[in-house]
Structure 1
């Protein structure tokens, strides 16, 4: 056997080879880790409350200036055919955070302070988006309105969020004292707080504080759910904003002037958040989504045109919402998508971006093909809507709608007849075809019944006895 003859220099190189191999392996691992981090973006979901489809500039609003929301539209993808999961607050939020239709997770209606008018209890056996993202290393936060439980075990920290800084309840009776029925629902995690300031400004400030903190932890992706109360009534812009609007829009009604000022104030705060994202060097790896939990409230001078009706209604004015995603791919800036989806598709999208899979019984679908500049796969998924409500007139009855392809079946009050519309020819829902297209009507009725039965399997009242104190 021949033994190679090495010089001392050759021997030194030979001895260093294992070290070099180890270094290369480490560099490869480091590179893979960096690529993985790049592939797992930060995600910010901004949810406005009762913001009408026609009350933002990029949708053609004639009297409200929203340059910052418009900026998101110019820098991202605008979705022209998206709907909220429900016509009122809690169900849309439950769907967004679980990826399931709201009645399947125990929230078919509004969660309220008074148990006698409460129509929801977020199911304890369902994991939220915060739980799922925490599993894969995300830090998670909610700033703003929760509205999915006022006490344990359904508080944000108990449902997976690392940070909660905001309002537990539904609506605020006043944007400055932050009470509901005299109760202070403002919290920092589980601690009651009593901050000074307009809620919209506070939520923006707290979100920027969170982003500032996370910008120092760039190896750890984050998920921020910023849920504003605005522009939900009471329509309460800061005084200086209202006075400015009165000067610029003297022809508008007093109610409309207040709404103009309120939305423009919200937009300015969205602008502060976007500026902070840029200043903190988070832009390149942070996806931003913006939408509303339902349509605007017509009695409060909000605008949903061109769609029929508004908040609480299952006509499209109550369901169609502004919907924007600013992806990491800047080549898609200023593009549009007419994909017909629902709010909770953000759940499946975020999980996909985070590198994890949605559950087998998830109702949401990922929008990531659109974020990659591709078409969505062909789907036959019906879009289902339910709202359960209670008052002396309706006594806890439910309202329903279902969209399948171009067809929409609606029962807009518990005692009204079913209506059928061909949205491709009648997007404003004026010509009821229930008696002219019986075959299609019966097909949609069967689909609707299946959804109602499926949702009805989930209890929607608290399993815990009410306190007698």
Structure 2
């Protein structure tokens, strides 16, 4: 009898242990790291030679690298809207960087620094469905650290109203044009920093020597925002280690201005050698060592990503955490950044009109890797994906239903080595920088430019399998394809709710 009871006890114990193994946490943590203006060619695993990104490169060897991944838009706010809502630019409420100038002198940096009523961008309506709200319903603690840009401080469009339990960083993209700002925001509170007000575009003092480091002292102060935000990101992970969490780490790096603590760039100054100072005439702050500073800003971002991973390892969370690293759009063309020197958008075309702000490949194709050790195998994927796919991917990951109105398709099967459904096409529109539309369908890429500026509806056509630089417009050779793209552009464009984003030539 005693032996039978002991045998039964052992069977129960064994079954309980097996069940415990099978029932490993079903809701992995998710860290979504969004760089700001990081070009496709600015990371080592994509071939960058001058800028060191050892931690990002190491992550690329633990997971899946996507070679055909796209932002939702070629600039900050709409890209972030597409990312969080899963709705492409033809359906998105936010379709541009709208400062809501009807509020007053919103472009006066000093006034906006003092008055929250002048800060921030056009806000997402409070009832907008977001991936963060979905993850909250799934039982996740949600946080955003970094740059918001989707709702001014005193509007309903703050992060805490759109699915985030915690927020620390820049509310306003314009305030992020100084990496030593006077303040940041923590949830609904304005947090003052130990920095004096220096207005972006402030030039060197008259008569100062551009080759004297002392001439640039006012651009490097005490509280460096990327460092402060990084500390909050690490704290968020530490504080939520015992429950599933979602951290949206929207870093302001490497978006200009060219600013970084001097000690962080010393190695690059020695390595890259003599260079001409940047005088600030093309916007943002002057800088004595523009190339060394820009490289150091990307390496700073890389270092912080390495520290995020180290924290996960320290807490035993690495194998239960999915890390996604990508960028909000292509690289900049201003502020002292030498995109040709760094080949920032390689293998695509560099420079104004082809990178940030435009729907050519250099403006919207961005680096992306997904790491989840023990679950995602090291590999390279040519699956064509886009920002509006990330919402449904995370929803499938945590077993949550999504609206049929979402434009994205989950790429979780691709991550897990299963059969992956493909998009028939991807769609973009952008009412700024002249007014633009674009569609990618297989290897075909259709582009419309100057829709607003010139009422142009002509479509350019490129075969990306042969013309990755998008230099050979073959529209005249394929009238049937052009007709198809015209139909897609008409179908996917809905009249924007916000009049600022309307394009009359499209019938708005």
Q: Any idea what SS the aligned residue of 1:81 has?
A: strand
Q: Distance in 1 between matches of 2:130 and 2:499?
A: 17
1:424 aligns with 2:465: yes
CA-CA distance at 1:330 after TM superposition: 5.2
Q: Distance in 1 between matches of 2:22 and 2:169?
A: 34
CA-CA distance at 1:432 after TM superposition: 0.3
Q: Paired residue for 1:4?
A: none
Give the RMSD, CA atoms, in angstroms. 2.9
Which of residues 269, 289, 299 in structure 2 aligns to 1:246? 269
Which of residues 290, 293, 297 in structure 1 aligns to 2:325? 290
1:352 aligns with 2:355: no
Q: Paired residue for 1:141?
A: 143
Residues 78-227 of structure 1 aligned to structure 2 (within 5 Å): 78-112=65-99, 114-115=101-102, 120-150=122-152, 151-171=154-174, 172-178=176-182, 184=183, 186-196=184-194, 197-215=223-241, 217=242, 220-227=243-250
1:337 aligns with 2:381: yes
Distance change in 2, residues 1:33/1:144 (3 Å): farther
1:275 aligns with 2:310: yes
Deviates more, 1:306-315 or 1:282-291: 306-315
Q: Any idea what SS the aligned residue of 1:338 has?
A: strand
Q: Distance in 2 between matches of 1:159 and 1:287?
A: 22
CA-CA distance at 1:243 after TM superposition: 3.1
CA-CA distance at 1:260 after TM superposition: 1.0
Q: Where does structure 1 lack aligned partners over 5 or more consecutive residues?
A: 1-8, 179-183, 463-469
Q: Paired residue for 2:260?
A: 237
1:68 aligns with 2:55: yes
1:449 aligns with 2:486: no
| Equivalent residues of 1:327, 1:371 under 8 A apart | no
Q: Paired residue for 2:477?
A: 436
Q: Distance in 2 between matches of 1:362 and 1:438?
A: 31
Residues 442-468 of structure 1: per-residue CA shift (max 9 Å, x gap): 10111011111x3x1544679xxxxxx
1:304 aligns with 2:308: no
| Equivalent residues of 1:106, 1:460 under 8 A apart | no
| Equivalent residues of 1:120, 1:460 under 8 A apart | no
Residues 46-65 of structure 1 aligned to structure 2 (within 5 Å): 46-65=33-52
Q: Paired residue for 1:315?
A: 360
Residues 198-222 of structure 1: per-residue CA shift (max 9 Å, x gap): 122112111100111112x2xx211
Q: Distance in 2 between matches of 1:431 and 1:119?
A: 37
Distance change in 2, residues 1:189/1:31 (3 Å): farther
Deviates more, 1:114-123 or 1:321-330: 114-123
Q: Any idea what SS the aligned residue of 1:205 has?
A: helix
CA-CA distance at 1:191 after TM superposition: 1.0
| Equivalent residues of 2:89, 2:427 under 8 A apart | no
- How many residue pairs get aligned? The number is 430
Distance change in 2, residues 1:206/1:119 (3 Å): closer
1:260 aligns with 2:295: yes
CA-CA distance at 1:328 after TM superposition: 3.9
Q: Paired residue for 1:376?
A: 420
